[in-house]
A and B are shown apart, each in its own frame.
Chain A
Amino acid sequence: DTGVSQDPRHKITKRGQNVTFRCDPISEHNRLYWYRQTLGQGPEFLTYFQNEAQLEKSRLLSDRFSAERPKGSFSTLEIQRTEQGDSAMYLCASSHRTGVTEAFFGQGTRLTVV
């Protein structure tokens, strides 16, 4: 049983560039979540999917952020025209839809915008 996998683990990008992160959830999990965490804060919800459907996106999330889960398996999170304020750890988690709703996190992608 492999856990949630995220790629890359670290990303340094220049301001204004686009970046894309990938998340592979636990295979039998049909719910997938993206969170963002900055230093000294808890993870902040960004968006989530059930299978391929994006069910909710945080109102605080800029239009520069977009996420997809095209076949209900892996997901990508893209940030366009990155800003220094986007520097954070981006966390992906997955869970079952029904029954146990415990969510398990991947290793995270640490983004640094310079």
Chain B
Amino acid sequence: QKEVEQNSGPLSVPEGAIASLNCTYSDRGSQSFFWYRQYSGKSPELIMSIYSNGDKEDGRFTAQLNKASQYVSLLIRDSQPSDSATYLCAVNRGSGGGADGLTFGKGTHLIIQP
């Protein structure tokens, strides 16, 4: 059973600063990695996907993957109060790259302080 570990937080970051969210995973063979944002009482919303080592940028968001260290992170630049949410890290469950579903961490609760 794959495991995904995240610090549950809360992680408090001043508005305008960089928020750094981290995730480790147990299965070295994992291929696909995803970050979801979840507001309280709402469903998860896909923010980023990353499949190769290195960085992937999309607007204010950057996902970083280091397969050797089994580590994936999400950076949020110029943090806004609207970024306050729980961020879920997910990896592919089986060998299908994510097509057979995802294993999620418990999420990190991020608070952006105005």
Which residues does A use to contact B, with CB under 8 Å? 31, 33, 35, 40-45, 48, 55-56, 89, 91, 95, 97-98, 101-108
**A91 CA to B101 CA, complexed, in Å:** 12
Contact status B98-A103, CB under 8 Å: yes
Residues in A neighbouring B8, C-beta threshold 8 A: 40
B106: contacting residue among A33, A41, A56, A89, CB under 8 A: A41
Contact bitstring B91-113, A, C-beta under 8 A = 1, else 0:
01100111111111111000000
Residues in B neighbouring A42, C-beta threshold 8 A: 4, 88, 90, 104-107
Interface of B is mostly: loop
**A104 CA to B88 CA, complexed, in Å:** 14
Residue of A nearest to B49 (CB): A102
Which residues does B use to contact A, with CB under 8 Å? 4, 8, 32, 34, 36, 42-46, 49, 88, 90, 92-93, 96-107
Contact status B106-A40, CB under 8 Å: yes
Contact status B43-A45, CB under 8 Å: no
Contacts A56-B101, A105-B45, A106-B43; is A43 near B88 (CB within 8 Å)?
yes
Extra inter-chain contacts (15) besides given A55-B100, A95-B99, A103-B46, CB under 8 Å: A33-B101, A35-B101, A42-B4, A42-B88, A42-B105, A43-B104, A45-B101, A98-B99, A101-B32, A102-B34, A102-B46, A102-B98, A103-B101, A105-B44, A108-B42
**A56 CA to B94 CA, complexed, in Å:** 11
Contact status A48-B44, CB under 8 Å: no
Contact status B90-A91, CB under 8 Å: no
Contact status B42-A107, CB under 8 Å: yes
Contact status A104-B99, CB under 8 Å: no
Q: List 28 A-B contacts (CB under 8 A).
A: A31-B99, A40-B8, A40-B106, A42-B88, A42-B105, A42-B107, A43-B44, A43-B88, A45-B93, A45-B101, A45-B102, A48-B100, A48-B101, A55-B100, A56-B100, A89-B43, A91-B44, A95-B98, A98-B99, A101-B32, A101-B92, A101-B96, A102-B46, A103-B34, A103-B98, A103-B102, A105-B43, A108-B42
